[in-house]
Amino acid sequence: MTTKILLEIAVSTSERGLAVERAGAHRLELCEQLELGGVTPRLELVRHVRSAVQIPVHVLVRPRAGDFVYTSEEYSRMKEAIAALRSEGVQGIVTGILQPDGSVDIARTRELVELTSPLKFTFHRAFDETPDLAKALEDVTLCGASHILTSGGAPDALQGASVLRKLIEQAGQRLTILPGGGIHSGNIAEVACATQTCELHTGLGTVLAYGSADESAFEREVKSCIARLNHF
């Protein structure tokens, strides 16, 4: 049986990217410093991963850890990163910008979406920092994004499941809500059932340390997630 739910896994090394592909997951989110929430990976790493795997690769564009309110200089670096990544054969960009009041920075996000086109554009978990998720969804939709990565404003996707389901219903066919945060093999089927999502995201950081060198344990956990979804 093949799961109808797409599973995206966040990785920061080519070894883990290969493990994800072997395990049967469907897409990578590539970044570095996952333990800090992720930052833009080096182009050398992007090229290495793209040459190693066949599944789609979406790349995080985040100039630093911390908040999502960026200076003009940081914003320029983000645009430069997206322009460079478009020629590297990746399938999508993952990023997000907020205003000082926590709302979506519509003007600059729209510009990044336009710069990313025709690649997919995921507005990442900066979304969960906004004061009104329903309004933020409309703002991100207005910008032309294809996905929103979110835990429903909760500490993890399972706790935010009821909100995530409402967001999925609100979004309809306009964009894809991508539940993420604290998902692992022990709860992935429950999250899928509660949200009725068509895609899920995890970095498995709540069950495996991001700096762990145990690639076999990582691959087994991804396989276990896929197996749970197959029987969902």
Query: Considering the entire predicted model, what is its pTM?
Result: 0.95
pLDDT, one tens digit per residue, over 155-202 is 999 999 999 999 999 999 999 999 999 999 999 999 999 999 999 999
Instruction: Annotate the chain with DSSP letters as a single string.
Output: ---SSEEEEEESSHHHHHHHHHHT--EEEE-B-GGGT-BPPPHHHHHHHHHH--S-EEEE--SSSS-S---HHHHHHHHHHHHHHTTTT-SEEEE--B-TTSSB-HHHHHHHHHHHTTSEEEE-GGGGGSS-HHHHHHHHHHHT-SEEEE-TTSSSTTTTHHHHHHHHHHHTTSSEEEEBSS--TTTHHHHHHHHT-SEEEE--TTTS-TT---HHHHHHHHHHHHHHHHT-
Domain extents in the chain: 6-122+181-230
- The pLDDT assigned to 4 comes to 85
Residue 3 scores a pLDDT above 60? no
- Edge-first strand order for the sheet with 147-150 is 176-179, 147-150, 120-123, 92-95, 57-60, 27-30, 6-11, 199-202
pLDDT, one tens digit per residue, over 102-115 is 999 999 999 999 99
- The pLDDT assigned to 215 comes to 83
- As a whole number, the mean pLDDT across the chain is 95
Confidence category of residue 154, pLDDT binned at 50, 70, 90: very high
Query: Could you tell me the end-to-end alpha-carbon distance of the chain, in angstroms, rounded to an integer?
Result: 11
Confidence category of residue 46, pLDDT binned at 50, 70, 90: very high
- The pLDDT assigned to 211 comes to 63
Cα separation, 103 vs 108, whole angstroms: 12
Cα separation, 169 vs 47, whole angstroms: 37
Domain 6-122+181-230 has CATH 3.50.50.60: no
- The pLDDT assigned to 1 comes to 38
Confidence category of residue 206, pLDDT binned at 50, 70, 90: confident
Confidence category of residue 63, pLDDT binned at 50, 70, 90: very high
